[in-house]
Chains A and B, each alone.
Chain A
Amino acid sequence: MLLSVVANRVGMALLTLAGVAVVVFVLLRVVPGDPVAMMISPGAGPADIAALKAHYGLDLPLPQQFWIWIKGVLTGDFGTSITLHLPVTEVLASRLPATLELAILALLVAVIFGGSVAIAGTLMRRTIGETTIDGLNSILLAVPDFIWALALVLLFAVAIPVLPLTGRIDPELAEGFTTRFYLAESVLTGRFAVAGDIISHMIMPTLALALPLAAVIVRLLKQSLKEAMLQDYVLLARIKGFRELRLVLQEALRNAVGPTLALTGVQFTFLIGGTVIVERIFAYPGIGNLAIDAVINRDFPLIQGLVLLFGLIFILINIGVDLTVAALNPRLRHA
């Protein structure tokens, strides 16, 4: 039973990725601009243009180009980046850890901050405190991540210049890493001064990504908690004399968190998408920043690889959310 469920999910994932591969391949050839047009010198003649196209394999019929590419993908070879002159898999592997660390930290901040505010709002329900929280949360909901990024730049990098603005780490400290998971590696190897520097670089981009997600969590979780607090089992617990905080945390939260968790998973995929602009603003070397350059330069192999990678990440996040929700709610395990 479990095996068939897993097989089904894997099959659906592969089918989705296949669809994504076809769509991105076709779209890139349809949209205006190709890498040769971007780099061709003004004095070049038709023969020079043809030679460049042949050099990058763009002179072949489209089905043949697709077959060559997809054959490589199935064997783990995503081609060579036209702009970076490096294998696409290598480039993605070198940039993904930065985005993952940023996204996971943003998710943690969003969950902790959003969850705490939602719980606080529930405890303060029907008071001026709840109204204040709702009002401030409305502002958080209305402001997108890139506006937060610019506001944080102005506040903490210009007006009160206490945070480093760009990059992931002070270039003078970027030595001796074995992996590209700089934060995790520096913590695990005890290089806490370096970890502190990395965190200082991550504060602004993390907040820019986390605040919109936190606002969604506050809105949904508070509503779910308020509904759960009206249930009979909570009433029973209150009659037994349990304190309000215990009622919220131990009685209501477990039942209320399901919908929030599911939506957080969906919103997390948007957060990953949000890294594109946020990484650009903070010159953060993740896959988001890489994607912008790839699109500007029409680096077809790199764009194709990035889109597949994003697709895979979204699929894995959705599977993770489904499993987590099922773990918390036994009624959903056999759905």
Chain B
Amino acid sequence: MFNITRRQALAASGGLIGTLLAPSRFATAAVGSTLNIAYNVNLPSFDPQVGPSSVNPTIQAIYRSIFDQYIGQKPNLAFEPGLLTGWGWNDDKSKVWMDVREGVVWHDGTPFTPEDVVWSIQRKGKPDGGNPVAFIWAGLDNFKIDGKRITADVKSYDPVIFKWMAFLTGYVLPKAYFEKVGPEGFEKKPIGTGPYLVDAYEGNAYLRLKANPKYWGGKPAFETVVFKFVPDATSRVAEIESGSSDVTLEVPYEEYDRLKAKAGLKGVCTPISDIGMIFITNGGVMDDKNVRLAMTHAVDKETIVKRLLRGYGVPIATLEAPEYAAFDPSIKVPYDPALATKLLAASGYSKEKPVKFTIQTTRGFKPKDYEMIQAIVGMWRNVGIDANIEIYEIAKHFELRMSHKLAPAAFYNWGDAIGDPTCSTGFAMFSKSPHSAWHSDDLDAKIGPLWGEKDEKKRIQGWKDVDKYIAEQGYVLPLLQYAQPILYKSDLKVTPNVSGALQPATLVSKA
């Protein structure tokens, strides 16, 4: 029979009471050497190169804490040296060169070498390797290493290859260690060159990181960072309000406004590289340009942002957010319900005889997604559009989009953390992309030549022209650029990142 002594019972009670009364629990408690982040997603896998996690934008903040990318990115999306200190093409863009940073070590103390860079690119470029963007990395071949310089042949020119080195799956992993332990071994004990080492991990619970004393970028502000995986928004609100966590993000805007006004807490909510849009699928009533343009002119984006999102968001007229390389502020699609009514009348539609179609949307996947569509459908009804709302799960959206079977209109969000037009307008509107909804030869003819355009100025201008054409034709309905609410204890300083990645090493410090 298991007997508990009085002393042991007191110890258990002490542990319980100690936890209940821990000073760090209270919202007003100062942050020590450990930073607790109530994070909005779980980390399923430590491999940033293959599998679904590698292309999940919300996990990048964690990957950037443990691993380094070839090329770094500042909070304003500008690029900076990472594990590469220099890079570029030769004159005719048939070759690339990359200079590897010296003096870097992996978390196990072994030296980081150019072989790691080459191996990482080759691993990601294998068609059967499980990398969802293998086609990007497969464009380089025939690698040669000379000291710290790597050169490679360009098999297929991609003007954005170096930007991808700061984007999804653009991380360097240790060749020797990975080959020794294998993928499963790496999952259990991952190492990188990043500012933090993995100290402890429990899936769906937490990730505890310890500062890397040998980090080439300097020791981070916090000795320990704990990412608590709290996918439920209500729980994240409770985490920050109770003081259990020091930072949290992606809480409802109403809660953000309430909590940032509380003593001991501060908040920052700025636009990020994520936009809300309505895909328009070619065919049926959508082949009528008047219907498409009426749809866009009938939507009062300013009011939607102000009323539904409490002012947190930026209305947009194209798929380029203001921070993107091809953003053109001269492209405007004004809110003009009178014009919308006139356009519909020209096609024989009116409030009494409305044009009818279905619009698909998620509910709860993005902030106020369903409510926005409800508001838009109401605005459309006022001009002679009768849209039926169909709610579906995001998985169904992906499947329908891939098979080009979306409804005539479908709400979606689109992220582009490198701000390059190929990753927003390009992939969303080029019919050869599995994710575009609008398929037409005229648009493909304009976009096609830009994929391989070697003159960067001409390329960016080309994309601006494409965006203008899309707006004139009404091939898509851009809505807004999202803003990311971040709440934190008032003795911290948080620098918001336009990419949305809340990197503790560089963006969070003591005030």
Contact surface of A with B, Cβ cutoff 8 Å = 32-35, 37-49, 51-52, 54-56, 82-87, 91, 94-95, 150, 153-154, 157-158, 161-168, 170-172, 174-175, 188, 190, 192-197, 199-201, 279-286, 289-290, 292-293, 296-298
> Are B14 and A82 closer than 8 Å at their CB atoms?
no
Instruction: Collect the chain B residues with CB atoms within 8 Å of residue A280's CB.
Output: 231-232
Instruction: Collect the chain A residues with CB atoms within 8 Å of residue B53's CB.
Output: 83
> Are B242 and A165 closer than 8 Å at their CB atoms?
yes
Q: Known: A174-B202, A289-B204. Contact between A196 and B55, CB under 8 A? A: no
A167 to B42, CA, bound (A): 12
Q: How far is the CB of B25 from chain A (nearest CB, A)?
A: 6
A293 to B187, CA, bound (A): 18
Q: Known: A39-B132, A158-B238, A298-B395. Contact between A196 and B13, CB under 8 A? A: yes
Judged by a CB distance under 8 angstroms, whether B464 is at the interface is no
> Are B19 and A196 closer than 8 Å at their CB atoms?
yes
User: How many B residues, CB 8 Å from partner?
Assistant: 79
> Are A165 and B20 closer than 8 Å at their CB atoms?
no
> Are A37 and B15 closer than 8 Å at their CB atoms?
no
Q: How far is the CB of B168 from chain A (nearest CB, A)?
A: 8
> Are A200 and B20 closer than 8 Å at their CB atoms?
yes
Judged by a CB distance under 8 angstroms, whether B230 is at the interface is yes
> Are A195 and B15 closer than 8 Å at their CB atoms?
yes
A163 to B239, CA, bound (A): 11
Q: Known: A42-B435, A197-B19. Contact between A285 and B133, CB under 8 A? A: no
Q: Known: A196-B17, A293-B42. Contact between A281 and B205, CB under 8 A? A: no
Judged by a CB distance under 8 angstroms, whether B213 is at the interface is no
Among B122-130, B288-296, B331-339, the stretch that binds chain A is B122-130
Contact with A along B375-391 (1 / 0, CB 8 A): 00000000000000000
Instruction: Collect the chain A residues with CB atoms within 8 Å of residue B204's CB.
Output: 95, 279, 283-286, 289-290, 293
Instruction: Collect the chain A residues with CB atoms within 8 Å of residue B399's CB.
Output: 32-34, 37
> Are B432 and A164 closer than 8 Å at their CB atoms?
no
8 Å CB contact of B52 from A32, A83, A195, A282: A83
A171 to B26, CA, bound (A): 18
A127 to B241, CA, bound (A): 44
Contact with A along B183-213 (1 / 0, CB 8 A): 1100100000000000010111110100000
Output the nearest chain A residue to B203 by Cβ-Cβ distance.
Answer: A285
A280 to B44, CA, bound (A): 15
Instruction: Collect the chain A residues with CB atoms within 8 Å of residue B13's CB.
Output: 196
> Are A85 and B47 closer than 8 Å at their CB atoms?
yes
Output the nearest chain B residue to A32 by Cβ-Cβ distance.
Answer: B396
8 Å CB contact of A166 from B34, B38, B52, B208: B38
- Give the 7 A-B CB pairs with smallest separation, nearest first: A196-B15, A33-B395, A42-B427, A193-B15, A196-B16, A192-B12, A285-B205
A28 to B231, CA, bound (A): 24
Instruction: Collect the chain B residues with CB atoms within 8 Å of residue A157's CB.
Output: 238-239, 242, 244
Instruction: Collect the chain B residues with CB atoms within 8 Å of residue A34's CB.
Output: 399
Judged by a CB distance under 8 angstroms, whether B8 is at the interface is yes
A37 to B230, CA, bound (A): 25
A39 to B235, CA, bound (A): 27
A161 to B9, CA, bound (A): 24
8 Å CB contact of B239 from A42, A48, A165, A194: A165
> Are B238 and A165 closer than 8 Å at their CB atoms?
yes
A41 to B127, CA, bound (A): 14
> Are A52 and B130 closer than 8 Å at their CB atoms?
yes
Considering only residues 1-28 of chain B, those with a C-beta below 8 Å from chain A are 2, 8-9, 11-21, 25-27
A279 to B44, CA, bound (A): 16
A168 to B206, CA, bound (A): 10
A162 to B38, CA, bound (A): 18
> Are B14 and A193 closer than 8 Å at their CB atoms?
yes
Instruction: Collect the chain A residues with CB atoms within 8 Å of residue B392's CB.
Output: 32
> Are A196 and B11 closer than 8 Å at their CB atoms?
yes
Instruction: Collect the chain A residues with CB atoms within 8 Å of residue B135's CB.
Output: 41, 43-45, 48
> Are B432 and A293 closer than 8 Å at their CB atoms?
no
A35 to B398, CA, bound (A): 10
> Are B132 and A171 closer than 8 Å at their CB atoms?
no
Instruction: Collect the chain B residues with CB atoms within 8 Å of residue A290's CB.
Output: 203-204
Instruction: Collect the chain A residues with CB atoms within 8 Å of residue B47's CB.
Output: 85
> Are A166 and B51 closer than 8 Å at their CB atoms?
no
8 Å CB contact of A153 from B18, B19, B234: B234
> Are B15 and A283 closer than 8 Å at their CB atoms?
no
> Are B55 and A168 closer than 8 Å at their CB atoms?
no
Among B53, B132, B203, which residue has the most Cβ atoms of chain A within 10 A? Answer: B132
> Are A161 and B52 closer than 8 Å at their CB atoms?
no
Instruction: Collect the chain A residues with CB atoms within 8 Å of residue B168's CB.
Output: 41
* Known contacts A174-B202, A197-B16, A200-B20, then 7 further A-B pairs from the complex at CB < 8 Å, ordered by chain A residue: A38-B52, A38-B395, A43-B135, A47-B127, A165-B238, A196-B17, A286-B204
Judged by a CB distance under 8 angstroms, whether B221 is at the interface is no
Judged by a CB distance under 8 angstroms, whether B181 is at the interface is no
Q: How far is the CB of A93 from chain B (nearest CB, A)?
A: 12
A sample of 20 cross-chain residue pairs with beta-carbon separation below 8 angstroms, ordered by A number, consists of A37-B402, A43-B133, A48-B134, A54-B128, A55-B130, A82-B52, A84-B44, A84-B45, A87-B184, A161-B243, A165-B239, A166-B228, A174-B202, A192-B9, A195-B15, A197-B15, A200-B16, A283-B204, A283-B205, A293-B42
Output the nearest chain A residue to B395 by Cβ-Cβ distance.
Answer: A33
A150 to B432, CA, bound (A): 46
8 Å CB contact of B232 from A37, A87, A161, A281: A281
Instruction: Collect the chain A residues with CB atoms within 8 Å of residue B136's CB.
Output: 43
A170 to B183, CA, bound (A): 29
A124 to B204, CA, bound (A): 46
> Are B127 and A283 closer than 8 Å at their CB atoms?
no
Q: How far is the CB of B307 from chain A (nearest CB, A)?
A: 26
Output the nearest chain B residue to A290 by Cβ-Cβ distance.
Answer: B204
> Are A42 and B433 closer than 8 Å at their CB atoms?
yes
Judged by a CB distance under 8 angstroms, whether B145 is at the interface is no
